[in-house]
Amino acid sequence: MGLTRTRGARSTTDLVAGVLGSDRLALARAITRVENQEADATALLTALYPHSGRAHIIGVTGAPGTGKSTLVTALAQSYRAAGMTVGIVAIDPTSPFTGGALLGDRVRMRALAGDSGVFVRSMATRGSLGGLSKTTGDVVTVMDAAGFDRVIVETVGVGQAEVEIASTAHTTLVVEAPGLGDEVQAIKAGILEIADILVVNKADRPGLDRTLRALEMMLEIEGNGARYVRHHGQLLRVESPVESDEDEATWKVVVMKTVAMGGTGIEELRQRIEAHRTWLMESGEMALREQLRIANTLENIIRAELNRRIAASMPASGLDDLVEAIRRRESDPYAAAAGLLSAV
């Protein structure tokens, strides 16, 4: 088989040409090389980067159990029906033990299989301390360069992931669902402020009213007249009601209700995302978000390189002696770190 013969032997140049020509096999291989940080990953990304910047990047985050994967699948189908192509990066909670992404490409988003206008890639969070953001950004760049109109990045929103998704996406959806526990509710509050659009999925479930009330209370959309608006990437508290909803300078975070499993509310959600994209471009906010995305990318690249240098500068045997001295409390890690750093 030709496919087997050329596997791995394909040159970086061929791979770049393949990605730009929307060759799915080339795309899959390029992503793998980028994800595994293979030798030519930087060369690949450098070649693809000038062709990126056209896709609109949609981040989808939320607590476990809110039905994010189903929502992303329905959203992708809606975009396909509107004639657009969609790349999906699904970031999975991973088992270091099984080694792979747990939910996997196959289990999730089965409904999208066989559609050449959709490309789904699951990524593992494994061993990615601080590196997940870089790898995610890199994979998005590859999909963007491959010409997908929309790239959706899905991640479980607990901990740092939600902050990272906001610095990767143009439009961030925070997904909620009725009837989750109190701790989940608390976590939600932590991710509300990164939302451009709030989605209450599984809106046919009991407890919808309570969830809506809680969200509205948090957003203070109603009540004392105060509300929060996004303005140049900042969430601002507006003490009095905003004069006009037509005001271009602000974006109103609204709550959308969906039942992704049955397709309810998906079309409206897609239109709201597109409205956000239009607002980003007309208000000048898009340029600001792009600047933030690029600054973030730069920082991630530098961080990854410095991590590599730290690892390279630490001979395992020398470190062992140091660690043992600290363990015996003959030294302390702060003095030892200062010594190591002076050598870097």
> What residues between 293 and 322 interact with a copy of itself by CB under 8 A?
294-295, 297-299, 301-303, 305-307, 310, 319-320, 322
Minimum CB–partner distance for residue 201 and a copy of itself (Å): 12
Give the E-state strand segments of the chain in sequence order.
56-62, 86-92, 118-124, 150-156, 171-176, 197-200, 227-231, 234-238, 251-252, 255-257
- Which of these ranges, 115-123, 189-197, 258-266, 273-281, lies near a copy of itself under the rule CB under 8 A? 189-197
* Nearer residue to a copy of itself within complex by CB, 84 or 218: 218
Measured distance CA(327)–CA(308) in Å, rounded:
26
Question: Among 156, 198, 200, 255, which residue sits at the site for a copy of itself (rule: CB under 8 A)?
Answer: 156
Tell me if 228 sits within 8 A of 237, measured CB to CB.
Answer: yes
Phi, psi of 237 (to 5 degrees): -90, 125
Q: Which amino acid is at 166?
A: A
> Per CB under 8 A, which of residues 98..117 are in contact with a copy of itself?
98, 102-103
Minimum CB–partner distance for residue 262 and a copy of itself (Å): 18
Sheet holding 234-238, edge to edge: 234-238, 227-231, 251-252
Question: Among 2, 3, 9, 97, which residue sits at the site for a copy of itself (rule: CB under 8 A)?
Answer: 97
Query: Is 125 an interacting residue with respect to a copy of itself (CB under 8 A)?
Result: yes
CB neighbourhood size of 281 (10 A): 13
State the sign of the Cα–Cα–Cα–Cα dihedral 313, 319, 325, 326: positive
* Nearer residue to a copy of itself within complex by CB, 95 or 278: 95
> Per CB under 8 A, which of residues 226..255 are in contact with a copy of itself?
235
Minimum CB–partner distance for residue 82 and a copy of itself (Å): 27
Query: Is 278 an interacting residue with respect to a copy of itself (CB under 8 A)?
Result: no
Query: Is 333 an interacting residue with respect to a copy of itself (CB under 8 A)?
Result: yes
Nearest to 154 by CA among 131, 126, 122: 122
- Which of these ranges, 30-38, 73-81, 144-152, 186-194, lies near a copy of itself under the rule CB under 8 A? 186-194
Minimum CB–partner distance for residue 253 and a copy of itself (Å): 12
Measured distance CA(157)–CA(147) in Å, rounded:
27
Tell me if 219 sits within 8 A of 253, measured CB to CB.
Answer: yes
For 288, the 3-state DSSP assignment is helix
Query: Is 193 an interacting residue with respect to a copy of itself (CB under 8 A)?
Result: yes
Question: Among 184, 208, 212, 261, which residue sits at the site for a copy of itself (rule: CB under 8 A)?
Answer: 184
* Nearer residue to a copy of itself within complex by CB, 22 or 185: 185
- Which of these ranges, 48-56, 71-79, 205-213, 250-258, lies near a copy of itself under the rule CB under 8 A? 48-56
Tell me if 256 sits within 8 A of 265, measured CB to CB.
Answer: yes
Tokens read off for 30:
């390029």
Minimum CB–partner distance for residue 342 and a copy of itself (Å): 11
Query: Is 39 an interacting residue with respect to a copy of itself (CB under 8 A)?
Result: no
Find all residues with CB under 8 Å of 179, minimum gap 6, and list them.
Answer: 202, 205, 206, 207, 211
Query: Is 214 an interacting residue with respect to a copy of itself (CB under 8 A)?
Result: no
Question: Among 37, 42, 208, 229, which residue sits at the site for a copy of itself (rule: CB under 8 A)?
Answer: 42
Question: Among 83, 116, 224, 329, which residue sits at the site for a copy of itself (rule: CB under 8 A)?
Answer: 329
Query: Is 189 an interacting residue with respect to a copy of itself (CB under 8 A)?
Result: yes
How would you classify residue 54: left for phi > 0, otherwise alpha for psi between -120 and 50, otherwise beta? alpha
Minimum CB–partner distance for residue 343 and a copy of itself (Å): 11
Tokens read off for 137:
């950004």
